[in-house]
Amino acid sequence: MSDSPSRPIGWRPLSVTFVGVAAVLVFVAVLSRDPVPIFAALPLLLAPIAAGVVGPRRSPRIRLTLTIEGAAAEVQLRGAIAPPPEVDARDLFVEFERPASLREVSPPKFERSASEVRFRVDWTAPEPIITEVRPPTVLWRDPMGLVERPTVSSATPTVISRYPPELLRIGAVRLERTTPLPGESRSRRVGESGEFHGIRLARPEDSPRQINWRASARAGHPLANEYDLDKTGDILLLLDARPTPLGSEVDERLFSIVRAAALGLSDSFLTVKSRVGLGVFGEFLDVVPLATGRTQRVRIETALREARISTAFAPAERCAVSVRRHFPPGLTTVVFSSLADESSTDLSPYLRRRGYPVVILSPSPFPLITAAFPLAGVDELLARRIGKLVRRNRIARAWQEAPTIDWDDYWSLGKFVEFVRRPRLRRVG
């Protein structure tokens, strides 16, 4: 339980109105020497004070459980709030702060009893997202609505990430390793014929040959051998966070989609123990160095959650120089860029020249633009056709430098996954 300090009682507007009306009535009573207004004023005067005294005398410490469910675009918040015994749960008000990138499907549903409030909230994500959901604000409010007091809970914000489900399959792709261990002789074979790496807890999918029976007998629980070549290689996810002529609103939404996809990609590769690095290039390059494991997942998630579109445009060469400083050459690099203008297509040549095989995943801005500025009739058709031609031309020119995947259906990355599973990457050199 956190040590959050108790917050003072809050007078609701009705209390102030009561006191004001009561003061006027008392004033009139004194002027007219008539006791009737005083009798009418007395309950109005005393009710707010009584409500404050009768209610909890410090911020109630509630127990808040919050779980987030749902797949793909669905986001369901379920939870329960249990106040201390002296507070009636029916007097608790629950307010949800919906992130701007989510939409409400239906109003929150509550089931209340004297000891608990259970709730369910249905939101939907129109596009892939990674965002933080704060715990709901819970207020105790007296039944007359005169006073209220914030509650205290130890609940922490929860991160919601929704990305195309195809990304879960991409981790099976074998990547190039860039950092052989000292003395390691690189085998082309995979599995247990590789270099012995260590012993770990056995998993249900481990074959009997993979179980280290002697070590298991010594430890008293099943252990399995792990080989270096069980691990796949390394990957760098590079996000282009430079502003484009599309405007800040479209840029932010596209970048939000890109952040979610990058998280999905990193999740998938981290699951198969690949090393994943992250770079966010705005004015300068912010990096999460190559590593693997759960901690790395948290690092990447935090970095992606905090990444924002920069306000200043920076030259692509600066990115390539910084990448070379932080990551070894030869590292498979996925560049996320909208390719919205000519200047945003220049990242891949600079990266290639420094020895990074690049794949570009480019979210198309068209679905967002057409939804935001709907045109009617012939104009719309013409504008769409011209826009598609320009986009196709830009993708074709980007292909000259690196494989480029046009991503126009935000909830599907099938094209990208298919490409990466059957790579036609050009070797650099």
- What residues line the site for another protein (CB under 8 A)? 6, 8-11, 14-19, 21-26, 28, 30, 32, 34-54, 57-58, 88, 90-91, 109-112, 118-120, 142-146
SS3 302: helix
Q: Which residue's CB is nearer to another protein, number 145 or number 198?
A: 145
Contacts of 20 (CB under 8 A, 6+ apart): none
Q: Which residue's CB is nearer to another protein, number 11 or number 419?
A: 11
Q: Which residue's CB is nearer to another protein, number 62 or number 351?
A: 62
Minimum CB distance to another protein, residue 27 (Å): 9
Side chain identity at residue 261, one-letter code:
A
Q: Which residue's CB is nearer to another protein, number 27 or number 313?
A: 27
Minimum CB distance to another protein, residue 87 (Å): 11
Provide the b/e sequence for 180-218 (b: ≥16 CB within 10 Å). eeeeeeeeeeeeeebeeeeeeebeeebeeebebeeebee
Question: CA-CA distance, 116 to 404, in Å (whole number)?
Answer: 53
User: Residue 152: beta bridge partners?
Assistant: 61
Q: Which residue's CB is nearer to another protein, number 24 or number 381?
A: 24
Q: Which residue's CB is nearer to another protein, number 149 or number 259?
A: 149
- The residue length of the chain stands at 429
Provide the b/e sequence for 139-163 (b: ≥16 CB within 10 Å). bbbbeeebbbbbbbbebeeeebbbb
Minimum CB distance to another protein, residue 85 (Å): 14
In this structure, what are the phi and psi dihedrals at residue 389, rounded to the nearest 5 degrees? -65, -45
Question: CA-CA distance, 300 to 394, in Å (whole number)?
Answer: 30
Minimum CB distance to another protein, residue 96 (Å): 14
Minimum CB distance to another protein, residue 327 (Å): 48
Contacts of 274 (CB under 8 A, 6+ apart): 171, 175, 231, 232, 233, 234, 235, 292
- Per DSSP, 5 falls in state P
Minimum CB distance to another protein, residue 53 (Å): 7
- Torsion over CA of 250, 255, 257 and 258, rounded to 10 degrees? 140
Q: Which residue's CB is nearer to another protein, number 121 or number 307?
A: 121
Minimum CB distance to another protein, residue 39 (Å): 4
Minimum CB distance to another protein, residue 159 (Å): 24
Q: Which residue's CB is nearer to another protein, number 15 or number 364?
A: 15
Contact 159, 301 (CB under 8 A): yes
Question: CA-CA distance, 81 to 99, in Å (whole number)?
Answer: 21
